[in-house]
Structure 1
């Protein structure tokens, strides 16, 4: 009997087939003597939509809300039905004795596989492959330690409960808001509080009023210290600061205290997904989605890093034996690696090994595969360098600094000077620090040398993707795998925008936060739900109990919207009039750019906001021309020099001579004509033959 192995993607299936000897390639699977390896294409199935469950739910009406189905079934996604059909045929083969789930080792990966097996009614034994890297060694080891799928039933229950909760809350609240306010208003248990975090920061910026204040600084040699104040805005007038300086200047100050301590700073732990997304955004401006895509490529395609969708910065104790091999794989990465290997690849940051802090996956690490840098893109190299640099810090000594705190008193006011001296650079490579120019002694007299500086309080900064990811992690909004998607969804639904300085809530988003239920705006509700989902995954709570609470909450949320007295203004409606019916036009974002559509439901008028740029080149300046919709049809126009050209129809385009045909014709007619043969030449040729 053969094992049917179900991977999540074709690329993973290909890797598995090579390791397991499934060398016969077919359209939808690989086959070998003992295994058949097939694949999903991400999700092949989804929960049924309202219109699939009840005819009354086909139209969006307030009377049909809330929608609480007794049973939420699953249905195939339309574009991937061919692969689902192929898996069903393989699963029913008589020579298939069991299935091995080899989808991503996480909550969503479990859901992908379980839905497929449920849909094809698979009744034979099911096992689970659980690995954190895609190397040949990891795959072989994983197949030696397959576990019964029943051990992951709680994880599946958690994933299913999450999907159903999002269906109940998301679809009901979105429908209620959209119907009541006659605009596409999308809300959800995670995306709405995420949007609210950005808006809260904006409110702080809007309410900020800059304050002018003054500070007093004492200079000794080339070192300077600011006078300590309980309230930094206490000196609001320069006269007050100057009066204090005048008082201080009447006598010398005294060094009243000198404190020395050794500060030991251990190396940071390896990355989890959220932290590397935050740092990549700060360093390179990469979006969370882009960073996830790059790490996924390093994991899946190049096989040089471990599983990316992790929420842990720790490693398990059984991984200690793998550290040397991982270090050898990056031996040419930096000069210190050879020293670490020579010293026995000893991990100095021993607190990284904590079994109880690793749930599904350990921290991001390089694998034992040597990287081929020539195959990595520039962006992939940057992310890989971040992961390896953080990994190498585990083998470095801690950073030690001798810190000296000097307190100088002028009457009741004090000034604090600080001096730092690096004792051991350790994992921090940069050791350049300013030389200490003053030798302090307790009781030392200090001459008054003051300056008054005018300061202006700085406003809070807008949230960037990096800082938003930090807040999402703090309040358990989403998972490491879904946070990037949530941010992208908010932008795509026109509730939030990216700007050069950070994230910004759109006028539509601001209104949504006023219209949506208050409990959905704060992160506390979602935070409690995430804790419940974790409890379900750990087998400490029943999913039915959780979903009963969600159904009750859904009814309450819909009722709140129904009885709300809030008003709504659609900022997407412009003052431009429809040329066909005279109604106002609405501006909409599409994949093809911004368009105008008529607000009249009975009118089908629509046009682009900006002309579409074609691949047709201007005959004068050779730049791409715009397509303009005129009264007599569409035509090309160059926005640089005003040149216009008629757009040919399909028949005319066929008749039009191609460049290849034009060159061939030119070549034919440019050849020199051969002179006709003269009568004398013909007579001579005939004589020669005789």
Structure 2
């Protein structure tokens, strides 16, 4: 039997349709002769062991057990998908050959091969390499199957990512929580992660930048001019460089007031140059998930996870849009022939679009169709199926509408605008006027009030010619103040995660982050932000995302390597070397283990500062109290033990605490240091 192993049910259905596998069985589809079978995971069907599954001693968090580094890594089936796991494993054992048909990326390779490894599969392995799930793309890929060896290294890169993330998360979350508890901290665990920690640091740093921001007063000189035809426009005085600070602001009020008096006394300005350039703006690309999340947050105040859930419903429940968890805004060129059908569906389900039908150019092929830009999935677009808007709720309608608008925009004319720059001379002073004149709204007509706010120079400039005299009818010095950056919202935080290279100073690392699309993936960013909120590291105030005191404490205590996006860049660089075959998984993991030990030792020396977090003090010696878990109950003990043996019952504990059996904290730390040297 030939087994096609897919990543998700919808993917399996699409491939099965092309293969003619229409006989449905439990968790799979067969051809009539049962020689071909298509089955699927539901993402990952297995997960990493928890520490206590390796050794029951790891269930209790203590310094002595750190660092936890498995000698042999193990996986267990996820409880929620155990039924499908059993189906897939039984089919693998019956198969002669397996065609890996998961997403064409590192994670997709891992989803399939971890199951093949567990099953001990010894047959032939092939790879179906797909970037889109339309029939033509599937047929093309089926005719050009890769050998399993060609993509095997992607699996090792995926394993490296998974295991190293586990090592960081499990070890440093425990370490920093224990260090904090040593000082009396009793809050929720101080969770650390390769992606979540630099994300959290971005919010903490932004909050501090705003809190510490000192407004800077500066001055601009605005003039209003009039032509002989009584047409008016605004111009701004161009301050000489020697009167500007490093931020190109004029701080010298007496100087600019003197210029204002000069201009008023002269009363006229002569046009020196007039430059007008017509700009033709192409429509925005189709939505990738993070772009959709950011736009919905800006327009509707929707959270990132909320948008993902709605997009998933549009894809799975309503069959109205394509796969949402994509990082790509492009489409395969083979899908351009489907454009008339997609457009027909959009207009059929929503008669309001009838009015733009005459403006649509169905043979206009925008930049969105580009095979070279396709990743594992293409941009989110409307489907060609039967879509029923009446069964969608308001939020689903809003997001479906946005996705339709982006697609429709590809077939509308360019947005055209004439940008004019005018230089004028007033005595020895230079004035500058900028203006925009919209020539054709084109695709922007679709977005109306959805557009970002326009620039300040959106004025119409009258027809001017060189050496023309204009009268100055008004001039005014405006006192302005610089403003701090805005607090993050879910939308802007998603954008910052995707473009994390801007926070890295090393040019090589900046490039690596650009290539790997920053922090996290399209599928994980929303959940990561929500996770930070659930863990009490972030809080929402209206649309703002703010860091809690717990977040500030953790970020202040973490070494730079764990909170700098540059670490992700270094990590991805090494993982890419595994994928390319220039580094082995064993070498990578050895380096990771050494890194964990070295960094843990440094963190122990540095300790943790709890900042403004309130802690419980010992009434006898004033040292922090620690909550201690004992087989006979929970109690509070002085961290000065054994010198101070004060203890108190824990109100939440049913049994009364007896003498603490916890080892001396100082000795625990000494033991740990000896382990990781």
TM-score, normalised to structure 2's length? 0.76
In 2: Cα distance, 1:254 partner to 1:83 partner: 79
Deviations 1:602-621 (A, max 9, x none): 856449xxxxxxxxxxxxxx
Residues 1:462 and 2:478 aligned together: no
Q: Is 1:172–2:189 an aligned residue pair?
A: no
Other-structure match for 1:399: 415
Match of residue 300, structure 2, among 284, 295, 298: 284
Instruction: Please list every run of 5 or more consecutive structure 2 residues that lacks an aligned counterpart in the other structure.
Output: 227-231, 501-517, 628-633, 638-646, 654-677
CA distance in 1, matches of 2:404, 2:535: 37
Matched position secondary structure for 1:480: coil
The offset of 1:191, in angstroms, is 0.9
Task: Determine helix, strand or coil for the equivalent of 2:606.
Answer: coil
Give the CA deviation at 1:504.
Answer: 0.8
- Helix, strand or coil: the match of 1:368? coil
Deviation, structure 1 residue 41: 4.2
Partners of 1:215 and 1:235 within 8 A in 2: no
Q: Does 1:471 align with 2:511?
A: no
Pick from 390, 394, 406 the counterpart of residue 390 of structure 1: 406
- CA deviation profile, 1:85-117 (whole Å, cap 9, x unmatched): 343344445xx5444545555443433332233
| Match status 1:451 vs 2:476 | yes
Change (3 A) 1:564 1:137: same
Q: Deviations over 1:557-583 (max 9, x none)?
A: 1111111144325837589x9xxxxx9
Q: How does 1:566-581 map to 2 (within 5 A)?
A: 566-568=608-610, 571=613
Q: Does 1:426 align with 2:451?
A: no
* Root mean square deviation of aligned Cα: 3.6
Contact 1:11 1:301 in 2 (8 A): no
Q: In structure 2, do the counterparts of structure 1 residues 233 and 436 end up closer, same or farther at CA, with 3 Å as the change threshold?
A: closer
- What is the aligned residue count? 583
Q: Does the aligned pair in 1 maintain the 2:103–2:376 contact within 8 Å?
A: no
Matches within 5 A, 1:59-98: 59-93=60-94, 96-98=95-97
Pick 1 or 2: higher relative contact order, CA cutoff 8 A, min separation 6: 2
What is the match of residue 246 of structure 1? 261
Q: Residues 197 and 321 (structure 1 numbering): CA distance in 2 closer, same or farther, change over 3 Å?
A: same
Q: Judge conservation of contact 1:132–1:306 (CA < 8 Å) in 2.
A: no
- What is the distance in 2 between the residues matched to 1:336 and 1:540? 57
1:165-564 equivalences in 2 (<5 Å): 165-182=164-181, 184-221=189-226, 222-229=232-239, 230=241, 231=244, 233-235=249-251, 237=253, 241-251=256-266, 252-332=268-348, 334-335=353-354, 338-339=357-358, 343=361, 345-349=362-366, 351-429=367-445, 436=460, 438-448=462-472, 449-475=474-500, 476-537=518-579, 539=581, 541-564=583-606
Select between 351-360 and 525-534 the one with higher mean Cα deviation. Answer: 351-360
* Closer, same or farther: CA 437–36 of 1 in aligned 2, 3 Å: closer
- Return the alpha-carbon distance in structure 2 between the equivalents of residues 81 and 168 of structure 1: 25
- What per-residue deviation string (whole Å, max 9, x for no partner) do you get for residues 126-181 of structure 1? 45555566677877777676655444323322221110110122212112212222
* Distance in structure 2 (CA, Å) of the matches to 1:561 and 1:42: 35
Are the aligned partners of 2:21 and 2:37 in contact in 1 as well (CA < 8 Å)? no
Whether the 8 Å contact between 2:553 and 2:609 is mirrored in structure 1 is: no
Cα distance in structure 1, aligned partners of 2:153 and 2:344: 38
Do the aligned partners of residues 86 and 401 (structure 1) sit closer, same or farther apart at CA in structure 2, a change above 3 Å counting?
A: closer
What is the distance in 1 between the residues matched to 2:597 and 2:434? 60
Partner of 2:258: helix, strand, or coil?
helix
Distance 1:404 1:437, change over 3 A: closer
Q: Following the alignment from structure 1 to structure 2, what is the Cα–Cα distance between the partners of residues 310 and 143?
A: 22
C-alpha spacing 1:169/1:293, structure 2 compared with 1 (3 Å):
same
CA distance in 2, matches of 1:511, 1:48: 29
Identify unmatched segments of 5+ residues in structure 1.
578-582, 587-596, 608-690
Taking the aligned partners of 2:98 and 2:440, their CA distance within structure 1 comes to: 55
Which residue of 2 is the match for residue 688 of structure 1? none
Contact 2:21 2:29 in 1 (8 A): no
More deviation in 44-53 or 273-282? Answer: 44-53
Shift of 1:287: 1.8
Residue 326 of structure 1 deviates from its aligned partner by 3.1
Change (3 A) 1:355 1:12: closer
Supply the distance in 2 between the matched residues of 1:323 and 1:529 (Cα, whole angstroms): 40
Change over 3 Å in CA distance of 1:572–1:159 after alignment to 2: farther
Q: Which residue of 1 aligns with 2:51?
A: 50
Residue 114 (structure 1) aligned with residue 113 (structure 2): yes
Give, in whole Å, the separation in 2 of the partners of 1:359 and 1:313. 9
Secondary structure of the structure 2 residue equivalent to 1:563: helix
For the residues of structure 2 that align with 1:387 and 1:295, how far apart are their CA atoms? 10
User: Is the CA contact 2:21–2:38 (under 8 Å) kept in the aligned structure 1?
Assistant: no
Deviations 1:158-216 (A, max 9, x none): 22111011012221211221222225211111111111111121121112122344432
CA contact (8 A) 1:278 1:466 kept: yes
Q: Distance in 1 between matches of 2:137 and 2:319?
A: 10
Partner of 2:508: none
Q: CA deviation at 1:37?
A: 5.2
Give 1:441 deviation, angstroms.
2.7
